Amino acid sequence: MVVYAGQGDPEKTLALLWRVPVDEGARTAPGPKPGLTVDAIVDAAIAVADAGTMDGLSMRAVGERLGRTAMSLYTYVPSKRELVDLMYDQAHAETPAEHDLSGGWRAAAESWAHGLRALYLRHPWLLQVSHARPVLGPHEQGVLEAVLRILDAAGLEPVAVRPAVGSLFSLVRGSAQAAAEARSAAGTTGTPDREWWTLRAGLLHRLVPDFADRFPLSARLSAQAPPSAGPEPRWEREAREAFTGGLAILLDGIESRTRPPGGSGTVIL
């Protein structure tokens, strides 16, 4: 199931995301001191999600990790939706905000993309949070700002900026999703990856004998896959190679829309 982000009360969500300080009149209020913080809850929730998939993320599970009941979390977070938003943004804090442009914009773009992909692979549940809505919090915004800086340095023509950004995000997410699935398939079934694939291929061949006739190009494509070599699982390597290849294709397209370097240093946006 996809968790759709940004569905809660927008004001509360934004205030939490940007950690807008609560009205300080309530500072010396009576009552017990809060035993938890939003950050502690978010960290616990991330730990729970990291340990399984998004399905395992229940308020109960998060509460248990903190030695509380599920309900106690609602004191800090209006609902699970807001919590997911907070988790999503917090995870993006892990990725570097600055990218070295001294090696050229292209190297920086590759670094950005690989860094983001690595983040998604460290926290695959991020891919289960729909990315299909505008900015949420400061850290996600930082990732966007980082890629904008790179494209700015590249001198990309203004009308191409939005499409380029969207394509880069889509590519990174799509590739990470494929790689994450490869891992989870290997992990779930216990079969170390090659067997998983041969199992499917064998089944398909038995159940659909005319597959190669109906889908000749697909059949050739899967037959053409190189044998697994080295310790890295085959699926994972294929996913990574498809990513670097796709990234190269996309960056070529972007490059053709940049002003030649050495021009005026005008900011393009």
Determine which residue in the list 78, 104, 115, 138 makes contact with its own copies, applying CB under 8 A. 138
Site string for its own copies, 47-86 (x = CB under 8 A): ------xxx-------------------------------
Rank residues 84 and 171 by Cβ distance to DNA and give the closer one.
84
Rank residues 80 and 123 by Cβ distance to DNA and give the closer one.
80
Q: Does 250 bind its own copies (CB under 8 A)?
A: yes
Q: Does 96 bind its own copies (CB under 8 A)?
A: no
DSSP secondary structure string for all residues of the chain? -PBPSS-S-HHHHHHHHTTPPP-GGGGG-SSPPPS--HHHHHHHHHHHHHHS-GGG--HHHHHHHTTS-TGGGGGT-S-HHHHHHHHHHHHGGGS-S----TT-HHHHHHHHHHHHHHHHHHSGGGGGB---SS--SHHHHHHHHHHHHHHHHHTB-GGGHHHHHHHHHHHHHHHHHHHHHHHHHHHHH-S-SHHHHHHHHHHHHHH-TTHHHH-HHHHHHHHTPPPP-SSS-HHHHHHHHHHHHHHHHHHHHHHTTBPPTTS------
Q: Does 107 bind DNA (CB under 7 A)?
A: no
Rank residues 30 and 209 by Cβ distance to its own copies and give the closer one.
209
Residues 38-97 that bind DNA (CB under 7 A): 56-61, 63, 67-72, 74-76, 79-81
CB of 88 to its own copies, least distance (A): 13
Report the interface residues with DNA, using CB under 7 A: 26, 28-36, 56-61, 63, 67-72, 74-76, 79-81
